[in-house]
């Protein structure tokens, strides 16, 4: 195949690094261009104008009054979910149940915020903490199944989402649990009572925009996770576990301990995001059956697009949030807002394919150590956990 190449270094040298890099750039240009072209094609095919749609998206996301605040407001929880996903992925565990973890976090917040009347910041802080614990515990349940019985965490976290959907449905329709006791509220059989005033997040005003506290908290978390992963011993061990389980085992990194920790943290961030969403006023400070509005799934996609780089998650979370809030303005143009989901998914594929093309080519000639989990997790670290008890 490749002749006269040097002995492969641990990272696997490409024949010519610069060539490979420019090829990568071209591939990105190609795939992202194709994404935009496909979206434009769909818009034109339904008899609408691309410029109108772009205008509506921009208005809805940033330009119209109050929209910047709304965009950042939803970006906060999305960012938290994404950052949580990053922790799990870095440790080699693929938690895809954030939607459920977010919902149990919100449920914990709702329990504290509607049942407990305490003065001061106690209900808010208590609800947020308990939300994180609830989300983390749900993910830890998957970790328990993984490390005790080898049940793949990908499947268990996914299945748990659908269990949680039903738990939420039960909670908000049941009077003793979370159902709204006030008979005058329309639709109360599908929504909880609203949070008490004490349990709501304060709102700051900045440049005439409502700035929701969730986003700065999300930023702080992204910073903390970056610091933890890149600057602490525990973070190093965690990454080692994900990138080279064999070596991790040899240097004594306890797989089940670190794995449980990573999954707990990943779920806790999603749960915290759910609690923040509720305390920040999502669906009128009430927990409802459709409360999560796919924030969990979108946070997951953000982490994928950001290649599990927690800092890169920040701009991408804002872009995804902007597509959401922009999508709300699409009705006026006559374009269905499902276009937003299409663009998001295509964007993930567009960013996924170029490195996968290169790695597929690369794998034929050199060692498998190619950066990151995005490409096939090889050997002992992957899959069913059968070899990783």
Partner 1 sequence: MGEAITILGDIFGSPTIYGSAVRLGAFLAFAALGELVAEKAGTINISVEGGLLAGAFGATLAFDLSGDPWAGLSVGMAAGFLVSLVQANVSHRLAADQFVVGITANVLVLGLTGFIDAAVDPIGARVSVISIPVLVDIPFIGPAVFGQTWPTYLLYPLIPLTWWLLYRTRWGLEVRAVGDNPRSCDVSGIDVNKRRREAIYYGGLLAGLGGAFLVLGQTGSFDSGSVGGRGFIAIAAVYFGGWTLRGALFGALLFGLADAFRLALPVLGYQIDAQFLAALPYLMTLAVMYFITRQFRQPAALAQPFIRRRW
- Which residues bind to partner 1, rule: CB under 8 A? 8, 42, 45-46, 94, 96, 145, 148-152, 154-156, 158-160, 162-163, 165-167, 169-170, 173, 297, 300-301, 304, 336, 338-346, 348-349, 352-353, 356-357, 359-360, 363-368, 373-378, 382-384, 386
- Nearest CA among 334, 271, 249, 217 for reference residue 85: 271
| Six token digits for residue 208 | 């005439």
Task: Rank residues 49 and 234 by Cβ distance to partner 1 and give the closer one.
Answer: 49
Minimum separation from the CB atom of position 36 to partner 1 (A)? 15
Residue 211, exposed/middle/buried by CB under 10 A (0-12, 13-18, 19+)? middle
Got the DSSP string for 215-271?
A: HHHHHHHHHHHHHHHHHSHHHHHHHHHHH-HHHHHHTT--HHHHHHHHHHHHHHHHH
Task: Rank residues 249 and 337 by Cβ distance to partner 1 and give the closer one.
Answer: 337
Minimum separation from the CB atom of position 130 to partner 1 (A)? 22
Helix axes 67-90, 313-327, angle to 10 degrees: 140
Minimum separation from the CB atom of position 125 to partner 1 (A)? 31
Minimum separation from the CB atom of position 9 to partner 1 (A)? 13
Instruction: Answer for the pair 341, 106: CB distance below 8 angstroms, yes or no.
Output: no
Distances (CA, A) of 162 to 35, 98, 99, 156, 374: 31, 11, 9, 10, 26
Task: Rank residues 184 and 386 by Cβ distance to partner 1 and give the closer one.
Answer: 386
Minimum separation from the CB atom of position 20 to partner 1 (A)? 15
Minimum separation from the CB atom of position 329 to partner 1 (A)? 16
- Nearest CA among 160, 166, 356, 351 for reference residue 263: 160
Minimum separation from the CB atom of position 136 to partner 1 (A)? 18
Give the separation between CA 191 and CA 176, rounded to whole angstroms.
13
Minimum separation from the CB atom of position 374 to partner 1 (A)? 6
Instruction: Answer for the pair 329, 70: CB distance below 8 angstroms, yes or no.
Output: no
Question: Backbone dihedral region of 244: left (phi > 0), alpha (psi from -120 to 50 degrees) or beta?
Answer: beta
**CA end-to-end span of the chain:** 38
Residue 272: CB atoms within 10 A of its CB come to: 33
Task: Rank residues 47 and 65 by Cβ distance to partner 1 and give the closer one.
Answer: 47
* Element (DSSP H or E) covering residue 128: helix 122-149
Task: Rank residues 95 and 126 by Cβ distance to partner 1 and give the closer one.
Answer: 95
Task: Rank residues 222 and 343 by Cβ distance to partner 1 and give the closer one.
Answer: 343
Task: Rank residues 8 and 121 by Cβ distance to partner 1 and give the closer one.
Answer: 8
Give the separation between CA 70 and CA 229, rounded to whole angstroms.
30
Rg (CA), the chain: 22
Minimum separation from the CB atom of position 200 to partner 1 (A)? 28
- Nearest CA among 282, 284, 104, 277 for reference residue 186: 284
Minimum separation from the CB atom of position 332 to partner 1 (A)? 15
Task: Rank residues 249 and 363 by Cβ distance to partner 1 and give the closer one.
Answer: 363
Residue whose structure tokens are 């006023």: 281
Task: Rank residues 264 and 373 by Cβ distance to partner 1 and give the closer one.
Answer: 373
Question: Backbone dihedral region of 287: left (phi > 0), alpha (psi from -120 to 50 degrees) or beta?
Answer: beta
| Six token digits for residue 76 | 């906060």
Task: Rank residues 223 and 383 by Cβ distance to partner 1 and give the closer one.
Answer: 383
């Amino acid at each position: 195949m490749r002749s006269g190449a040097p002995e492969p270094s641990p990272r696997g040298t490409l024949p010519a690094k610069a060539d490979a890099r420019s090829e990568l750039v071209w591939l990105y240009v190609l795939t992202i261009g194709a994404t935009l072209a496909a979206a434009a094609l769909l818009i034109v095919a339904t008899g609408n104008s691309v410029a109108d749609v772009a205008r509506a998206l921009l208005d809805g996301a940033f330009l119209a009054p109050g929209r910047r605040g709304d965009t950042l407001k939803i970006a906060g929880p999305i960012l938290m979910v994404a950052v949580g996903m990053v922790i799990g992925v870095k440790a080699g565990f693929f938690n895809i149940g954030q939607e459920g973890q977010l919902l149990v976090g919100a449920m914990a917040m709702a329990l504290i915020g509607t049942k407990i009347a305490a003065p001061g910041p106690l209900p808010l802080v208590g609800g947020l903490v308990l939300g994180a614990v609830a989300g983390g515990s749900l993910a830890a349940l998957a970790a328990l199944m993984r490390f005790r019985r080898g049940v793949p965490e990908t499947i268990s976290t996914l299945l748990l989402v659908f269990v949680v959907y039903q738990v939420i449905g039960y909670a908000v329709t049941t009077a003793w649990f979370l159902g709204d006791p006030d008979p005058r509220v329309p639709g109360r059989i599908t929504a909880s009572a609203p949070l008490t005033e004490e349990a709501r997040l304060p709102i700051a005003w900045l440049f005439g925009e409502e700035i929701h506290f969730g986003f700065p908290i999300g930023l702080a978390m992204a910073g903390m996770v970056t610091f933890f992963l890149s600057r602490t011993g525990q973070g190093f061990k965690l990454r080692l576990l994900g990138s080279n389980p064999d070596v991790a085992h040899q240097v004594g990194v306890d797989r089940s301990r670190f794995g449980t920790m990573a999954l707990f943290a990943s779920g806790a961030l999603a749960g915290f995001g759910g609690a923040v969403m509720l305390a920040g006023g999502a669906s009128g400070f009430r927990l409802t059956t459709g409360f999560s509005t796919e924030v969990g799934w979108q946070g997951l996609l953000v982490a994928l697009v950001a290649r599990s780089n927690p800092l890169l998650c920040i701009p991408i979370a804002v872009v995804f949030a902007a597509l959401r809030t922009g999508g709300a303005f699409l009705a006026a143009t006559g374009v269905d807002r499902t276009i937003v989901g299409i663009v998001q998914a295509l964007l993930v594929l567009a960013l996924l394919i170029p490195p996968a093309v290169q790695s597929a080519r690369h794998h034929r000639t050199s060692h498998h150590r190619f950066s990151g989990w995005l490409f096939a997790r090889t050997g002992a670290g992957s899959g069913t956990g059968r070899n990783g008890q």
